[in-house]
Amino acid sequence: MLLIECPYCGERPEPEFVYGGQAHIARPPDPAQLSAQQWARYLYLRDNPRGVHAERWRHTHGCGRFFNALRDTRSDHFLATYKVGEAPPQAAKDSR
Amino acid sequence: MQRFSALSLLRRGLAGQRGWQPQWRHAEPKAAYDALIVGGGGHGLGTAYYLASEHRLTNIAVLEKGWIGSGNTGRNTTIIRSNYLFPESAALYDHAVKLWESLSQRLNYNVMFSQRGVLMLAHTVHDMQVAKRHVHANRAAGVDNEWLTPRAAQAFCPLLNIGEIRYPVLGAALQRRGGTARHDAVAWGYARAADALGVDIIENCEVTGIRRDASGAVEGVETTRGTIRAPRVGVAAAGHTSVILKMADVELPLESYPLQALVSEPVKPVFPCVVMSNTIHAYISQSDKGELVIGAGTDAYTSYTQRGGPHITSHALEAICELFPMFRRMRMLRCWGGIVDVTPDRSPIIGKSGVPGLYVNCGWGTGGFKATPGSAHVFAWTIARDEPHPLNAPFTLERFRDGNLIDEAAAAAVAH
């Protein structure tokens, strides 16, 4: 079970959270202009790295808010959590 | 290859079990092969076996980063069934069941395939509708599946508690041809048979790069044991497929999750079949060694750690204790995780990767073991002929671009 630091509430156990998949995927502003390949990329392609992964979590049984995290998928160690709209902390990213 | 028979077992037994040879050679990598298979699990070893036995490609090697069968082949709950909803899937998985039925004879190796029946429980009205839809779809596709009332389900599995639980059993779908097999024996049997045909099985050899020529086609791989050249490379690396294919700049619609299982202390034969429940989420069978083999769900997040959270396994055990109250005092011996590669439609990808000479067999998600012989058989065909077998033709990478998904989320059974 992971211990996850919600940027609003602090450290809480994993069952309070819901995983939200890869972070920083922006919906294309005009889907009709995309090719099938580009649309499939938006819908289905994910990074799935063996290493540092930027991902969304939601503190469902707490403040209810979404936030982002950097986690190393080789160890499940959280490098950082940060609020939606913020850029991933550079120091944590560099440690990959 | 030393063939096994009743006579050979008796003779060696009387001779104090001396004189057995290793089951496969300890191969050193050569500089070049006609084809390479990356991943020494059941799918990869089976692919090598069918390439050698059916397509006469014997100058080939299987590259395994650890020891063979050390990944998901040795980590699953060994359940075999083919009761998938859509015709494409039912045909592919039933192809595997048919190959399972004669696999021990074909490999001269006992994979302990046991068609003891797979019972899939329904606990809600929605479950019943979905299960009956599967039953009818399967029967129309020529795959055996039947609907049982709660009493009939209990008659088939007498330990089943159908009434005194939070979500009572309202019925069940039963596939009598389903069952289990010995997972390690599948890897060993394929390895032994492939080795006898000249295939090199190279363990402790991790692929670190994919070499491509000026035209972009594959010309070999870099490994921890040096460069190995080959014009064709087939990847069957399960949860690590994304990592391997990224070496050739191929992106796949995969996410890798931990999937956990656990076994109990061994007891006398007590459990006659396989029981699965999607809704309260647990599945269980008893191995021939006597352990209860219990499958849990995937963890919520992507990971490569081969372990998961204890709350996932305790959730599965709570469901088992409700369904089978007599197991409440059983002790669990071991639990572990495997990394499963999940596609958006829960169906596998078997075919070309877009890079000439590079083939991929992945996305089996939480249910790849059951498909091992069928998957290996059609993947070998695809590599040998550079075109898909009719059974894996729908399972292309391009289906995500073209919208031809094969959505088996309900049949995949493991909640994710």
Average pLDDT on B389-408 reads 96
What are the DSSP calls for B340-382, one per residue? EEE-TTS--EEEE-SSTTEEEEE--TT--GGGHHHHHHHHHHH
In this structure, the number of other CB atoms found within 10 A of the CB of residue A83 comes to: 11
User: What is the three-class DSSP state of B334?
Assistant: strand
In residues, how long is chain B? 416
CB B119 within 8 A of CB B275: yes
Q: How far apart are CA B151 and CA B220, in angstroms?
A: 58
When pLDDT is cut at 50, 70 and 90, the band that residue B358 belongs to is very high
Instruction: Tell me which of B241, B244, B257, B301 to substitute to probe the interface with A (most A C-beta atoms closer than 10 Å).
Output: B301
CB B312 within 8 A of CB B154: no
Query: For residue range B225-266, what is the model confidence (pLDDT) as tens digits?
Result: 999 999 999 999 999 999 999 999 999 999 999 999 999 999
CB B206 within 8 A of CB B46: no
Q: How far apart are CA B322 and CA B166, in angstroms?
A: 8
User: What is the three-class DSSP state of B319?
Assistant: helix
Query: For residue range B177-227, what is the model confidence (pLDDT) as tens digits?
Result: 999 999 999 999 999 999 999 999 999 999 999 999 999 999 999 999 999
Average pLDDT on B302-330 reads 95
Q: Whole-model pTM?
A: 0.96
The residues on A that touch B, with CB distances below 8 Å, are 1-2, 14-15, 17-19, 21, 36-37, 40-41, 43-46, 48-50, 53, 55, 71, 73-76
Look over chain B and give the mean of its residue pLDDT values, rounded to a whole number. Answer: 96
Q: What is the residue type of B159?
A: L
**Residues of B in Cβ contact (< 8 Å) with A55:** 301-302
User: Quick check: B145 pLDDT over 80?
Assistant: yes
User: Quick check: A91 pLDDT over 70?
Assistant: no
Q: What is the residue type of B155?
A: A
Whether residue A73 and residue B310 make contact (CB cut-off 8 A), yes or no, is no
Q: Which two tokens stand for residue B141?
A: 């596709």
Q: How far apart are CA B412 and CA B114, in angstroms?
A: 21
When pLDDT is cut at 50, 70 and 90, the band that residue A90 belongs to is confident
Query: What is the predicted pLDDT for the residue at B39?
Result: 98
Q: How far apart are CA B82 and CA B365, in angstroms?
A: 15
Query: For residue range B282-294, what is the model confidence (pLDDT) as tens digits?
Result: 899 999 999 999 9
Q: How far is A41 from chain B (nearest CA, A)?
A: 8
Residues contacting B109, CB < 8 A, separation 6+ = B4, B185, B188, B189, B192, B193
Q: Which two tokens stand for residue B345?
A: 């439609």
Average pLDDT on A47-75 reads 97
Look at A18-22, B194-198, B221-225, B277-281 and tell me which has the smallest mean pLDDT. Answer: B277-281
Residues contacting B333, CB < 8 A, separation 6+ = B262, B263, B264, B265, B291
Query: For residue range B59-115, what is the model confidence (pLDDT) as tens digits?
Result: 999 999 999 999 999 999 999 999 999 999 999 999 999 999 999 999 999 999 999
In this structure, the number of other CB atoms found within 10 A of the CB of residue B387 comes to: 11
User: Quick check: A94 pLDDT over 80?
Assistant: no
Smallest CA–CA distance from A75 into chain B, residue: B305
